[in-house]
Chain A
Amino acid sequence: MASVAAALRSVGKRAAPGGDREDGDRMVITPLGAGNEVGRSCVHMSYRGRAVLFDCGVHPGYSGVAALPYFDEIDPAAVDVLLVTHFHLDHAAALPYFLEKTAFKGRVFMTHATKAIYQLLLLDYVRVSKASVDDMLFDEQDIHRSMDRIETVDFHQAVEVNGIRFWCYAAGHVLGAAMFAVDIAGARVLYTGDYSREEDRHLPAAETPPFSPDVCVIESTYGIQQHQPRDVRERRFTEIVSSTVSQGGRVLIPAYALGRAQELLLILDEYWSNHPELHKIPIYYASALAKRCMAVYQTHMSSMNENIRNKFGCSSNPFNFKHVESLNSIDSFHDVGPSVVMASPGGLQSGLSRQLFDRWCEDGKNACVIPGYVVAGTLAKTIINEPREVTLANGLTAPLNMQVHYISFSAHADFPQTSAFLGEIRPPNIVLVHGEANEMARLKQRLVSQFDGTNTNVVSPKNCQSVEMFFRSEKMAKAVGSLAEKVPNVGDSVSGLLLTTKGFTYQVMDPDELRVYTRAQLSSANITQRISVPYSGSFEVVRYRLNQIYESVEESAVEESDVPALVVHQRVTVRQDSETSVTLQWSSDPISDMVSDSVVAAILNISRKGPKGVRAEEAARTKEETERMAHKVVHALMVSLFGDVKAGQEGELVISVDGDVAHLDGKSGDVECENAALKERIETAFRRIQGAVRPIPLSAS
């Protein structure tokens, strides 16, 4: 588990890499959209060389490139995974653009239901905006191509991509909405997307993850507002609808085609079933898109809540509405007598809902129920304030006599939900996104006071403002195999291969078992080399020569077919195979290769020059002399390294550096010195010098 090492700091521009800390431990979270705004959700997260993008939406208030998140802040090619929480345009609609028009080559994941509706919704989006917008971000073909690249993930299913582990929880909000948990090398981030902790007719409440994430990126749409209880809202809604129609009025419900509309239809359909007197009053549902999506709703029952699943288990599919008829266009609508019409768009900007509004707004018997969050700048927002007059689509002004009701069925978390959610999962870092600046600031303030004293950081970065966090992750390794036969005690030494897989998992093992633990992807190898050298003289001469050169020459322990064989330094076996050649055999490694090369040279020298007289002095050269020579070399090298080096008694060297005096035992390498740093340096130097003086370690010693 990673632990947060440092306080959070928010900087205007991305800090230069490096800095005072190891770059690998820094997590950077940057909203590319939805920072202090609602719309174009897109949050970039990078940690340990991995990058994840959460959501990829457009801003409904802008068009063309201006609606996109700030993709130029990041390198799309470096993004490994893109996770889309739900199908709403402000969370998914920039996806075709990002997939087709940028260098992004990572993988995209969303839930099954989201993917199915995503396609329909975007095709509709393209069709609608074609009429009004010149610079289209993408076309139908881009959407179809994007479908091939989107992979699906089921709730709770754990997926690993390039060392990034992630899985998702149900988020409520709309069908298929998910909140993603991402785990990179033990650091966990939870991105809630839009969520609601209130169970409604068909959607489950958002799940509470059973762990505490290190960072929680959370929506703040409703800031510190509080919803009315659901049953009160439902009752108000059904009362308004029934009283209006029973007085002969018409009810207009402008709603986005998907999401809340299905919930409202479930409410109405049930209310109608329980009130037979209303059966003669038709409910129309005017959205071709929603009609197409109905198959998805009827199929993905498993993403819905227990209540509707049980209903499904006991009777016919609840999404086969009994009292709701669909309406294709205003031409096929016979406006005689009372009726209830649900039509899109929800903001009354244009389309069928606007046509009906224009037709009905002057009659005081009629009612308009606005069932959700309305975006600033739309007619729906205007009429909530109940002005006396409204401007019709044709530019004329008309008196607004129609009753206007605002009952929010919006499935976003309100403050009590947000606060309870954060209280349960207790993340040490909270990043607020997806909310208007004022709401967000208020929420931040409330959260700061709620978590006061718990060392919780709450930040609300603006778009492109990076939040940096440092995690000092403990690197845990697993010692496996024969290396781990017994658990070592303090002070024991451990040597083996350290295998790092995908950057985060460490294993320590014996080299021979590498194959086992990498599934035969890697393996250690032994290369046995056998080389035959032409030599036609007596083997005794070879033996003699080698004995002179090497410190260790032994008879081969394994006698094969009576051929004389010698083992030099326990590494290279020299054997006379035939009259005309000797064979050298050894197992590859740098030292053995060197030994074998020198053996080859020695043998070639014999044959080239013929047997040479051996000088007496050479033969008499004693071991002590060799030692003396070695000592001399050590001394000379020490002088070159440390300057003031005096030869002491019995091969001892006295080294003085800046007043510190060290005594080095020339044989054992023991150093006596009060300055630990100097001692360590001398030891290291001596070890290296020894390595150079005696390159072939005597395995016996």
Chain B
Amino acid sequence: MGTSVQVTPLSGAYGESPLCYLLAVDGFRFLLDCGWSDLCDPSQLEPLAKVAPTIDAVLLSHPDMMHLGALPYAMKHLGLSAPVYATEPVFRLGLLTMYDHFLSRWQVSDFDLFTLDDVDSAFQNVVRLKYSQNHLLRDKGEGIVIAPHVAGHLLGGTVWKITKDGEDVIYAVDFNHRKETHLNGTVLTSFVRPAVLITDAYNALNNQGYKRKQDQNFVDALLKVLASGGSVLLPVDTAGRVLELLLILDEYWGQRNLKYPIHFLTNVSTSTIDFVKSFLEWMNDSISKEFEQNRDNPFLLKNVSLIINKEELEKLGDAPKVVLASMASLEVGFSHDIFVEMANDTKNLVLFTEKGQFGTLARMLQVDPPPKAVKVTVSKRIPLVGDELKAYEEEQERIKKEESLKASRIKEEELKASHGLNAKASDPMTIDGSSSRKSSNAGSHFGANVDILIDGFVPPSTSVAPMFPFFENTAEWDDFGEVINPDDYMMKQEEMDYSMMHGSGDGLDGKIDEGSARLLLDSTPSKVVSNEMTVQVRCSLAYMDFEGRSDGRSVKSVIAHVAPLKLVLVHGSAEATEHLKMHCAKNSDLHVYAPQVEETIDVTSDLCAYKVQLSEKLMSNIISKKLGEHEIAWLDAEVGKEDEKLILLPPSSPPPPHKSVLVGDLKLADFKQFLENKGWQVEFAGGALRCGEYITVRKIGDSIQKGGAGSQQLVIEGPLCEDYYKIRELLYSQFYLL
């Protein structure tokens, strides 16, 4: 039997909620993505919470909130502890996305769902892979191979191929078949008839125009607003689609020599671009070629200024400008603040480049017609002053005192306990000696005795003779003087490494921009003040699709091309999912599933397979015919066993004659050409090929179904005449007879 495969959506099925799926392959449980919406609502993660501790591996596909946002929270609070697999850019940019998200939240609320440390520790056990790298899983997952492949959409975006016993399960969400300014199109179409394809129906109902035209419209829309003295806000993600926008803008500004400033404002913008600059090999071919030949890095971004706090933006005043600010949902963060400022002015434009997440401010503004006014909460973190500060300090003081009191109490108890032991041993001096020796072994007297020094005289109740510790200098001497340990004078490798690492602040894996770090490390007591207000939406609002996902038509053709045996649809509105489901079920013979959240479906393939060895003796008797990259032959063999393995041997008794098989793939159009070259009068008539006067060749049945199984059915008919046999001969010549 085939490999058993079960899929359970934990979120993101029949709806546009974040992506998170459970995939079990022969009992090995993969978590496919671990997304969270910008709202960060823990109740969304309930299905995940139930299964998190049982997960064996996590595969991440894209570096944005919808695909990996819940990872730190799940690691911290839900007991998720499995190794995480991702490509290098997904890891880096994902980390930055989480930093940015945290900082945006933390600036306006007492955000406590996860901290930066949680983000760091969650990303610590990410195993980083390269595209097309076959990674063999060990232990429980023995025999499973995972490999990331290019997905398009976001930098490092991944289509995961999970292979067990030659059967492929492919997880491909948010892929893009189109080559973009900075990314290659997906390689999904190169996969050979996988057992299971898990894909999304997100864009099943959308169709896009031409990219070039779309880019032009986009830039035109911006320029129109800028020329009339308005500013443009593009709410974007932290390190995903924004890269494509930046490139389009930077290139266009460069070509036209435009002077309007472009600002890229996120908490981590400078480091984002720094990392992206070193990810050229993950981008499209023309970018890497350009770099190889001329060392031009498109992400040097000559026309974009990277800023990490709003003050710099405020300095510019009201001059026309383009601002790309993070948090596409406008929930919190820079985009939110700027929106509130800009919404009031009719000259301004807020241009959405992706569909807003469900239930967010961005989504509210994308409805048609847009609302006249929206209610927002404006929050700010301000330092404490006056009484509040005093109260805070007192509180801190109190906490500190309590802690130290507690600590000293614990120490006292420990001391008592140890002295209790001493008392039992009845000779405190010896004990002292041993402990001092121990500490000198450890290389430092100070560490061991620090308690006593600090605590001073805490008269141990049980001790007979309280005294300062005394350590005898036990230096050894030989003929050459004091014996030295050469190790003490060696510069150790670790020390070297330490000195190399010195000043690099090794705690954080990625870096936070200085400004943000200041903000974060700033220990000034602060609090959050917020007030609700209503914002009149007078500015223009627009939506242009720069999501970089394949549109409905392409998704359908990609699915038809890949022709999986079983198709699982997730992540798409109910209508989109149903639409795609109907479409696929109607047009091909594949099995389509669209599970609900927490519904487990079994997509174990009914294809069977077993492995056999081909004996030399058998193979020497087989004559294959070559057809392109394949060779085919008829095989008659008998099964034998050798070292527990099945082996095919030549048959011991003559095999029964088999039905002869014609092999080849005939296209009527090709055949027509072939006959014409031979000098026949050939024409298509009513779907059939009319050869000469009387003979017709037709194809029936399966020919329409591209991925369909079974063999081709051809009919040749005509009256008894010489031509009939000639045509038949030519038709046979198109096939191999076995």
A301 to B166, CA, bound (A): 35
Q: Which of B159-188 contact A (CB under 8 A)?
A: 166
User: Is the CB–CB distance between B712 and A525 below 8 Å?
Assistant: yes
User: Is the CB–CB distance between A307 and B632 below 8 Å?
Assistant: no
B134 neighbours in A (Cβ, 8 Å): 158, 167
Whether B316 sits at the interface, judged by CB under 8 Å, is no
Most chain B CB within 10 A, of A496, A500, A512, is at A500
Interface string of B620-663 (1 = CB under 8 A from A): 00101001111111111111110000101001001101111111
Contacting B608 at CB < 8 Å: which of A155, A484, A512, A517? A484
**How far apart are A301's CB and chain B's nearest CB, in angstroms?**
4
A511 to B712, CA, bound (A): 11
Whether A561 sits at the interface, judged by CB under 8 Å, is no
**How far apart are B412's CB and chain A's nearest CB, in angstroms?**
42
User: Is the CB–CB distance between A515 and B132 below 8 Å?
Assistant: no
User: Is the CB–CB distance between A526 and B713 below 8 Å?
Assistant: yes
A482 to B664, CA, bound (A): 21
User: Is the CB–CB distance between B715 and A528 below 8 Å?
Assistant: yes
Chain B interface, DSSP helix/strand/loop, else mixed: mixed
Contacting A157 at CB < 8 Å: which of B132, B136, B289? B132
A475 neighbours in B (Cβ, 8 Å): 613-614, 619
- Given A519-B193, A522-B632, A525-B662: A152 and B613 within 8 A (CB)? no
Chain A, residue nearest B148 (CB): A157
- Identify the stretch in A9-17, A126-134, A485-493 within 8 Å (CB) of chain B at 4 or more residues: A485-493
- Given A521-B630, A532-B720: A480 and B607 within 8 A (CB)? yes
User: Is the CB–CB distance between A523 and B661 below 8 Å?
Assistant: no
Contacting A231 at CB < 8 Å: which of B491, B503, B632, B707? B491
- Identify the stretch in A91-99, A292-300, A358-366, A367-375 within 8 Å (CB) of chain B at 4 or more residues: A292-300
Whether A534 sits at the interface, judged by CB under 8 Å, is yes
The range of chain A's interface size is 35 or more
Interface string of B291-325 (1 = CB under 8 A from A): 11101010000000000000000000000000000
Contacting A478 at CB < 8 Å: which of B611, B662, B718? B611
User: Is the CB–CB distance between A302 and B281 below 8 Å?
Assistant: yes
B499 neighbours in A (Cβ, 8 Å): 274
- Identify the stretch in A308-316, A422-430, A435-443, A614-622 within 8 Å (CB) of chain B at 4 or more residues: A308-316
Contacting B292 at CB < 8 Å: which of A116, A301, A528, A590? A116
Whether A477 sits at the interface, judged by CB under 8 Å, is yes
Whether B578 sits at the interface, judged by CB under 8 Å, is no
B638 neighbours in A (Cβ, 8 Å): 491-494
User: Is the CB–CB distance between A530 and B278 below 8 Å?
Assistant: no
A116 to B280, CA, bound (A): 12
B133 neighbours in A (Cβ, 8 Å): 154, 156-158, 167
Contacting B295 at CB < 8 Å: which of A295, A486, A495, A529? A295
A506 neighbours in B (Cβ, 8 Å): 614
Whether A279 sits at the interface, judged by CB under 8 Å, is no
User: Is the CB–CB distance between A494 and B280 below 8 Å?
Assistant: no
- Given A480-B607, A590-B660: A520 and B131 within 8 A (CB)? no
A116 neighbours in B (Cβ, 8 Å): 291-292, 295
Whether B738 sits at the interface, judged by CB under 8 Å, is yes
- Given A476-B611, A480-B609, A489-B639: A527 and B129 within 8 A (CB)? no
User: Is the CB–CB distance between B132 and A158 below 8 Å?
Assistant: yes
A531 to B720, CA, bound (A): 6
Whether B353 sits at the interface, judged by CB under 8 Å, is no
User: Is the CB–CB distance between A299 and B500 below 8 Å?
Assistant: no
Contacting A310 at CB < 8 Å: which of B277, B504, B639? B504
A299 to B728, CA, bound (A): 63
Whether A474 sits at the interface, judged by CB under 8 Å, is yes
Whether A497 sits at the interface, judged by CB under 8 Å, is yes
Q: Which of A155-182 contact B (CB under 8 A)?
A: 155-159, 167
User: Is the CB–CB distance between B88 and A516 below 8 Å?
Assistant: no
User: Is the CB–CB distance between B497 and A497 below 8 Å?
Assistant: no
B646 neighbours in A (Cβ, 8 Å): 487-488
User: Is the CB–CB distance between B636 and A313 below 8 Å?
Assistant: no
B634 neighbours in A (Cβ, 8 Å): 495-498
Whether B709 sits at the interface, judged by CB under 8 Å, is yes
B716 neighbours in A (Cβ, 8 Å): 527-530
What is the size, in residues, of chain B's interface with A at 8 Å between Cβ atoms? 105
A457 neighbours in B (Cβ, 8 Å): none
User: Is the CB–CB distance between B496 and A231 below 8 Å?
Assistant: yes
A182 to B363, CA, bound (A): 52
Contacting B509 at CB < 8 Å: which of A310, A515, A518? A310
**How far apart are A48's CB and chain B's nearest CB, in angstroms?**
13
B506 neighbours in A (Cβ, 8 Å): 310, 314
Interface string of A336-365 (1 = CB under 8 A from B): 000000000000000000000000000000
Chain B, residue nearest A116 (CB): B292
A300 to B608, CA, bound (A): 45
User: Is the CB–CB distance between A477 and B614 below 8 Å?
Assistant: yes
User: Is the CB–CB distance between B711 and A299 below 8 Å?
Assistant: no
A474 to B618, CA, bound (A): 12
- Given A154-B131, A523-B711: A485 and B292 within 8 A (CB)? no
- Given A112-B281, A476-B613: A515 and B663 within 8 A (CB)? no
Interface string of B256-292 (1 = CB under 8 A from A): 0000000000000001001001111100000011011
B622 neighbours in A (Cβ, 8 Å): 498
Whether B610 sits at the interface, judged by CB under 8 Å, is yes
Q: Which of B521-565 contact A (CB under 8 A)?
A: 563
A196 to B278, CA, bound (A): 24
Whether A119 sits at the interface, judged by CB under 8 Å, is yes
Whether A2 sits at the interface, judged by CB under 8 Å, is no
User: Is the CB–CB distance between A515 and B710 below 8 Å?
Assistant: yes
A312 to B651, CA, bound (A): 66
**How far apart are B351's CB and chain A's nearest CB, in angstroms?**
31
User: Is the CB–CB distance between A523 and B629 below 8 Å?
Assistant: no
A513 neighbours in B (Cβ, 8 Å): 709
A195 to B720, CA, bound (A): 75
Whether B668 sits at the interface, judged by CB under 8 Å, is no
User: Is the CB–CB distance between B636 and A495 below 8 Å?
Assistant: yes
Binding site for A on B (CB under 8 A): 88, 129-134, 136, 147, 166, 192-193, 271, 274, 277-281, 288-289, 291-293, 295, 297, 491, 493, 496-497, 499-501, 503-506, 508-511, 563, 607-614, 619, 622, 624, 627-641, 646, 648, 651, 654-655, 657-666, 706-720, 724, 728, 731-732, 735, 737-738
Closest 4 CB pairs of A and B: A530-B717, A156-B133, A589-B660, A498-B635
16 residue pairs A–B, Cβ–Cβ below 8 Å? A157-B131, A302-B279, A310-B509, A313-B271, A489-B639, A494-B612, A497-B632, A511-B659, A511-B711, A512-B710, A515-B711, A518-B630, A519-B193, A522-B628, A528-B716, A531-B724
